[in-house]
Chains A and B, each alone.
Chain A
Amino acid sequence: MLNLIEEFSNPELSQKLLAQVKNLADQYIQKHGRKPVFMEVCGSHTMALARTGIKQVLRDHVKLISGPGCPVCVTDQLFIDSMIELAQDSNRIICTFGDMIRVPGSNGSLMDAKAEGKDIRVVYSPSDSVKLAEENPDREVVFLGIGFETTIPLLAVALKQAQDKNLTNYSMWVTTKLVEPIVRVLLEEKEVEFDGLLLPGHVSIVLGKDQYSYLTDDYGMPGVICGFYPTEVLIGIYKLIEMLLEDRVGIENQHPRLVTDSGNRNAQNLMNQFLELCDEGWRGMGMIPKSGMDIREEYAHLNAKKKFSIQVPEPRKTKCRCGDIIRGVITPEECPLYAKACTPLHPIGPCMVSGEGTCAAHYQYMREELNG
């Protein structure tokens, strides 16, 4: 495993692949008079492209647009406000993933609430929150569960554990997002135009390759499933340009050692056992029908939204343009707050907080160009 990491990051191999990608992209430019444009759906790809320098080094050959696949970034401010409201009761322990506690709500973040003495904890895995509930039988444990299809099965595992153990002091506030509905919105609204999609390896492990057939069938959009190391991403981009040059529209799987055609059936079954499709609010985009999953009615006792009646006012508006950034409509540099009022230390929007956020990727890895 560790050897593979080294190989997938191998500098010589990456350089060779890079030269080939540039070459193929230039052929495309010659044929079409413009650069090929691809969107990376997933925040992990955004980070990988920025951190390795691939995005910058390909700037004159391929245009890469960051998409909506950062779970923290698309989480509506309302949920943060709701969690802070829930935390006001000292008998409750609120837990969530690391990045979430720094995302600003209308009046501060969960971290600010923690500093005020509220019991807010970071867990690494949803199952840890179940353990916490077992260890604290006299207190209510609420887990804020966010994520795409990569994380939803883990939420389902935690729900199953809580159910099997008959825990009465455990519940989950679920606000999950699905890849297909948001990609459909982007393709139908056409605010940004692109020629192909870089599809995330980890989501595809759960969903499988076949799940992407809507891209080719309904939109004639090619896609390549690839991993996150430099050589993997470069092969992904290479295969996309190759398809364009050959006028082929398909879904290619460059992650075949982990991604099968039908995906991980166990994970899918577990997801569907505990969760069902729901309308979901996306930050900056509003409500999108059937774009998320929430806890099924028969497990309502595990649903924090049903267990506690929390009313919070409409979130306070800021000038943060995260919503436009996650749709690929503007780049972070075009947001008036970026790197001025909004920095990783004082984030205004989630895109600057998250380890997968586009603004954080630009701030951490692409600022040298900005400063000249």
Chain B
Amino acid sequence: MNDQRITMAHGDGGEQAHQLIEEVFLKAFGYNGEPLMDAACVKVTDRIAVSTDSFVIKPIFFPGGNIGKIAVAGTVNDIAVSGAVPMYITAGFILEEGFLIRDLVSIVESMAEEAKKAGVRLISGDTKVVERGSADGMFINTTGIGIYQNEIQIHPEAMQEGDSIIISGTIGDHGVTILTARGELGLISDVQSDCASLNHLIREACEGQSGIRIMRDPTRGGLATTLVEICEDFKVTMELDQTALPVRQDVRGACDMLGFDPLYMANEGKVIIITAKESEEYVLKALQSHELGKNAKVIGSITSKDRGQLLLKTPMGTTRRLGRMAGMHLPRIC
């Protein structure tokens, strides 16, 4: 089946659709033979977190991952940064007629692997096929369900002057990877997407800590756009130290050449954690002791509780205001 391509018949609910589900999806996602119902039935207690996200990344395969890995990790991260423990995930696939089944298998296997790593169960899925030209290879939508278990407490309302802003590692890796992987720029680099599920990292860094104010994963729009949103939503002013920002040399080089700013480049495996000053050391060390957080750094602090601005202190000693990403033309990055 691997050498075959997706045809319209794979999406019509008939024999070929059945075969695709059996041989590709159920095989990868660990089906135990229970009757297949129209809906998955799972037991949850207490408050739940639900998050949905669609993935349209181009190219579908890129250094450090593929659309399947990012579809699981991205949704796991959205649940994890809200302080919940991700438990279940659903996936909807829109496949373009002609898509190689071998590639689909490889993507689905990545999803299963990432789900296993993150400790989430894939409980429901759907496949549709559209005519050639109506989709670019494949799109995936995932929805995650997490449970609030009280081990991680976040208190954004408590944000105050002196709180620390921590990033779990280098910024802009994913954005630059995708730009170079598209092959349109004639750039070659070793940089890989940071795409990864962060729920275990977050749990280790934040469990039992009372000083966690807020967590976010800075995906599209990058670190700056995500922080601007926090500043505006909670009316806090933050100041970042430009010299403290962790940026890989090749990422900085590529951005310089192309006129991009790493502050606005997408990440898929980084978390921003804002903590009370007294929790800073614990959280930073916990992050740094984990492979996914080894380059974690304190990059700034909350300086006041009024204007809701994000400021950047330059090496020249000046301060400039950062806005949301505007005026950039980035291709489909997630």
Contact = CB atoms under 8 A, between A and B. Distances in A.
Interface of A: 1-3, 5-6, 9, 11, 14-15, 18, 51-54, 56-57, 98, 101-102, 122-125, 128, 230, 343-345, 347, 353, 355, 360, 363-368, 371
Interface of B: 184-186, 243, 249-250, 252-253, 256, 259, 307, 309, 311, 314-321, 323, 326-327, 329
A355 B327 contact: yes
Nearest to B243: A11
Given A53-B319, A355-B327, 4 more contacts: A53-B320, A56-B316, A57-B316, A344-B326
Contacts of A3: 249
Contacts of A371: 307, 309, 321
A57 B318 contact: yes
Nearest to B316: A53
Contacts of A2: 249-250, 252-253
Given A98-B329, A128-B184, A353-B327, A5 B318 contact: no
A11 B318 contact: no
Contact of A5 (B184, B256, B307, B320): B256
B185 A124 contact: yes
A368 B252 contact: no
15 contacts: A2-B252, A5-B252, A15-B317, A52-B314, A53-B315, A53-B317, A53-B320, A56-B320, A122-B329, A124-B185, A344-B326, A355-B259, A355-B327, A365-B320, A368-B319
Contact of A14 (B250, B256, B315, B319): B315
A318 B140 CA distance: 44
A interface secondary structure, majority? helix
A345 B326 contact: yes
A11 B329 CA distance: 30
Contacts of A53: 314-320
B199 to A, nearest CB: 33
A228 B323 CA distance: 23
B316 A124 contact: no
A25 to B, nearest CB: 15
Contacts of B307: 371
Contacts of B319: 53, 368
Contacts of B327: 102, 344-345, 347, 353, 355, 360
A283 to B, nearest CB: 18
A251 to B, nearest CB: 26
A141 to B, nearest CB: 16
Nearest 9 pairs between A and B by C-beta? A53-B318, A11-B315, A344-B326, A53-B314, A53-B316, A368-B321, A344-B327, A2-B249, A56-B318
A125 B186 contact: yes
A125 B256 CA distance: 16
B320 A368 contact: yes
A353 B329 CA distance: 11
A367 B324 CA distance: 13
Nearest to A54: B316
Given A344-B326, A355-B259, A6 B249 contact: yes
Nearest to B330: A98
